[in-house]
Every structure is written in C-alpha cells, then in structure tokens.
C-alpha cells in the first residue's frame, strides 16, 4: 500500500506568500480572541473549589441548586460532568471561608437533600498556589522555547532556530485561541499538552530542516526554492503518516480517557493538526525569507562529521 504517489516536487514555495497570509490571519484571529474573550482559567490557575458529586440516578439540577442556594455560597456553577449522574460544582475563592469547611458544608447539604449523593473528587487551590502554578507554566513555556532555539541554532543554523520557534509558537497561540474562542477550560493538563505539542511540532521542523540540509548537499545545482520544495515533498508521506499515528493515539485518549483528559486530548489534536501545517509551510517559508543559502549549511560539514551521517548505535 502506498498513499502518496507524487511524481514531481510540489511547488510549495511559489505560494509562500499565500501561506504566510493565511498563517498571519489565523494568528491574529487567535490573538483577538485571546484579548477579547480571554482564557477560561480552571481552578488550578484561578484558585477556587471544584466538587464532583455522583448520584445514584440522573442529576436533578433544580433540586441540587435549590439545596446549594440555601447555603448562600455566593457565586457558583453546577453542571453535568461527563455522565448524566455526575455533577460538577465550581466555586470561586471565598473570603474567610476555608476550603476544608466549604466542601464539608456543600456535601452535608447535598447529602441531606439526597442521600445518594457521594463525593467523588474535591479540588481546592488557594490564590497563592494558583498564581504560582500560572507563573510556573509561563516560565516552563519560556524555558522550552529558549531550549529549543538554543539546540536548533547549535545543530543547524540560527535561521532554522528562529523559523522553527516562530512556527511553533504560532501553533501555541492558535491552540490558545481555540480555548479562548470556545471558552474551554484551561487547566494544568492542558498546559502539559501545550508544552508537549511545542516539543512535538519542533520534531517536525527538525525533520524538514534535516532534509533541506541534505538536499543542499546532494542537489548541487538546484535553487533554494527547489531544494525546499523537494524537502517538503519527499518528507510529506512521513509527515502525514506519523501525525496520523499520533492523532490515532490522541483520539483514543479523547474517546476513552474520560472527562479529565478531554481538553488535554483536544489541545493535543489541534496542536498536531496545526503542527503539520506550520512546520511544513510556515517554518520553511520563514527560512526562505530569512535568506538561507547553501553556504550556510554545507560549509561546516567539511570540518567534521555531518549530523545526517551519524553512525548507528
């Protein structure tokens, strides 16, 4: 079986400008959504209390809300969670009321109202911890970006490093844009997914960069555009099969992994799809605009062993 039967190189670079415009528009849209709607931060980052309650039967939300209203908790939300017999109650941080007391109070009221109510999960995050988790997340993102730029600059050339990180941060912003647009809950696992996507998409850029370097060496008389077109075309089947495989796994998590991993899988799926596009088309066009040339890549190879020619273990 062979899915990809490509006779000649696809002239991707001829449409470079168009791709860049598409990227820019999507990127700007994402930024607009982030700016206007903002992220729907989960309890991990914002602080507050989440209680998951399971009933022996489908949840009667009117009754449940009536029971909760009597407690005068202030603002709260109660929604179905995954299944019809499970409800999720979210409460923002309350002044002067400790979490310990809060979850006991809520469960007490719900149990009094309906004895089948059982507490499945409680999560409480204080304001200080929430802020720290948020800051640590941002720091991790920065560190990953710097680490990747550093490594690629060392292994390839600064143009590739810059192009790869721009392409991949563009993916991250787009994922965040989706989360802002649909107001999906942004939690710690989602952050983990986003950082994993960052590492993973760079993977893709590396494969193409590797091929561009190899082509510069092999295709002595070809133009830069031709070299890049050939690199993208010849890695196309690998790109799609690999990402398809990863996507299969991610979909498996999405469908079978339960509610907790729902947005985690979603973030990964979006990241993988945009990762294909951005590494092939955004990264490569950026490298071209930045003016990569044969001399930039082929020169260092005369000095020592080339990266592509490493001996197998």
Partner 1 sequence: MNRYPLWKYIVIAVALSTGALFALPNLFPEVPAVQVSSAKVKVDTALLGTVEETLKAANIPFRGAALDATGIKVRFADPDTQIRAKDALAAKLGDNYIVALNLLSASPQWLSAIGAMPMYLGLDLRGGVHFLLQVDMKAALDKAADRYSTDLRSLMRGEKVQYAGIAREGANVVLRFRDEAERTKARLAIEKNYPDLLLREAEASGGDLRLIAGLKPEAQKRIQDGAVAQNIQILRNRVNELGVAEPIIQQQGAERVVVQLPGVQDTARAKDILGRTASLEIRMVNDEPGVLEAAVAGSVPLGSDLFTERGGAPLVVRRQVVLTGDRINDAQPGFDSRSNEPAVHVNLDGTGARIFKEVTRENVGKRMAIVLVEKGKAEVITAPVIREEIGGGRVQISGRMTTREANDVALLMRAGALAAPMEIVEERTVGPSLGAENIDKGFKSVLYGFVVLSAFMCVYYLLMGLISTIALSVNLLLLVAILSMLQATLTLPGIAAIALTLGMAIDANVLINERIREELRWGATPHAALQAGYERAWGTIFDSNVTTLIAGIALFLFGSGPVRGFAVVHCIGILTSMFSAVFVSRGIVALVYGGRKKLDRISIGQVWKPQAPPPAAPTKA
Q: Which of residues 132-171 bind partner 1 (CB under 8 A)?
A: 133, 136-137, 139-140, 143-144, 147-148, 151-152, 155
Give the other-Cβ count within 10 Å of 67's Cβ: 19
How far apart, in Å, are the Cα atoms of 106 and each of 2, 61, 63, 102, 265?
59, 14, 14, 6, 31
Total chain residues near partner 1 (CB under 8 A) = 85
Region binding partner 1 by CB under 8 A among candidate stretches 25-33, 87-95, 186-194, 218-226: 186-194
80: β partners: 87
Among 31, 261, 290, 298, binds partner 1 (CB under 8 A): 261
Pairing of β 83-91 and β 77-81 = antiparallel
Q: Quote the least distance from Cβ 294 to partner 1, whole Å.
A: 19
191 binds partner 1 (CB under 8 A): yes
Region binding partner 1 by CB under 8 A among candidate stretches 117-125, 176-184, 215-223, 292-300: 117-125
Q: Buried b vs exposed e over 205-233: b needs ≥16 C-beta within 10 Å?
A: bbbbbbbbbbbbeeeeebebeebbbbbbb
Tell me which residues in 44-73 interact with partner 1 (CB under 8 A).
52, 54
Among 264, 266, 267, 269, binds partner 1 (CB under 8 A): 264
1 binds partner 1 (CB under 8 A): yes
Taking the C-alpha atoms of residue 269 and residue 261, their distance in angstroms, rounded to an integer, is: 12
278 binds partner 1 (CB under 8 A): no
Tell me which residues in 72-111 interact with partner 1 (CB under 8 A).
98-100, 103-104
Q: Buried b vs exposed e over 289-313: b needs ≥16 C-beta within 10 Å?
A: eeebebebbeeeeeeeeeeeeeeee
Q: Quote the least distance from Cβ 99 to partner 1, whole Å.
A: 5
Token pair 């969670």: residue? 81
Region binding partner 1 by CB under 8 A among candidate stretches 14-22, 62-70, 287-295, 304-312: 304-312
245 binds partner 1 (CB under 8 A): yes
If you count them, how many residues does the chain have? 313
* Residue 236, token pair as written in the block: 């196309």
8 binds partner 1 (CB under 8 A): yes
7 binds partner 1 (CB under 8 A): yes
Region binding partner 1 by CB under 8 A among candidate stretches 27-35, 61-69, 125-133, 296-304: 125-133
- The smaller minimum CB distance to partner 1, of residues 16 and 152, is found at 152
Asked if residue 78 lies in contact with residue 167, where contact means CB atoms within 8 angstroms, the answer is no
Among 265, 269, 270, 284, binds partner 1 (CB under 8 A): 265
Q: Quote the least distance from Cβ 192 to partner 1, whole Å.
A: 5
196 binds partner 1 (CB under 8 A): yes
Taking the C-alpha atoms of residue 167 and residue 276, their distance in angstroms, rounded to an integer, is: 10
Which of 177, 199, 235 is CA-nearest to residue 25?
Answer: 177
């Amino acid at each position: 079986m062979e899915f990809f039967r490509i006779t000649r190189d696809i002239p991707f670079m001829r449409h470079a400008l168009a791709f860049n415009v598409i990227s820019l528009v999507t990127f700007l849209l994402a930024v607009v959504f982030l700016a206007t709607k903002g992220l729907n931060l989960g309890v991990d980052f914002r602080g507050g209390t989440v209680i998951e309650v399971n009933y022996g039967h489908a949840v009667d939300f009117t009754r449940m809300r009536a029971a909760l209203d009597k407690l005068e908790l202030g603002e709260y939300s109660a929604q179905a969670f995954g299944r019809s017999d499970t409800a999720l109650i979210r409460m923002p941080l309350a002044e002067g009321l400790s979490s310990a007391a809060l979850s006991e109070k809520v469960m007490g009221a719900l149990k009094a109202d309906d004895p089948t109510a059982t507490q499945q999960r409680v999560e409480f995050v204080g304001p200080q911890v929430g802020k720290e988790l948020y800051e640590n997340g941002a720091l991790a993102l920065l560190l990953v970006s710097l680490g990747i730029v550093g490594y690629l600059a060392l292994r390839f050339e600064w143009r590739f490093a810059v192009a790869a990180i721009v392409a991949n941060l563009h993916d991250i912003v787009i994922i965040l844009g989706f989360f802002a647009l649909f107001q999906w809950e942004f939690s710690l696992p989602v952050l983990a997914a986003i950082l994993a996507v960052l590492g993973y998409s760079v993977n893709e850029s590396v494969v193409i960069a590797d091929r561009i370097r190899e082509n510069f060496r092999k295709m002595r008389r070809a133009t830069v555009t031709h070299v890049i077109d050939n690199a993208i075309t010849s890695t196309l089947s690998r790109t799609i099969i690999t990402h398809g495989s990863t996507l299969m796994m991610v979909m498996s998590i999405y469908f079978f992994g339960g509610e907790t991993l729902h947005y985690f899988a979603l973030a990964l799926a979006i990241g993988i799809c945009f990762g294909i596009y951005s590494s092939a088309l955004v990264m490569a066009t950026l490298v071209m605009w930045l003016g990569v040339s044969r001399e930039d890549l082929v020169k260092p190879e005369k000095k020592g062993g080339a990266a592509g020619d490493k001996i197998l273990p």
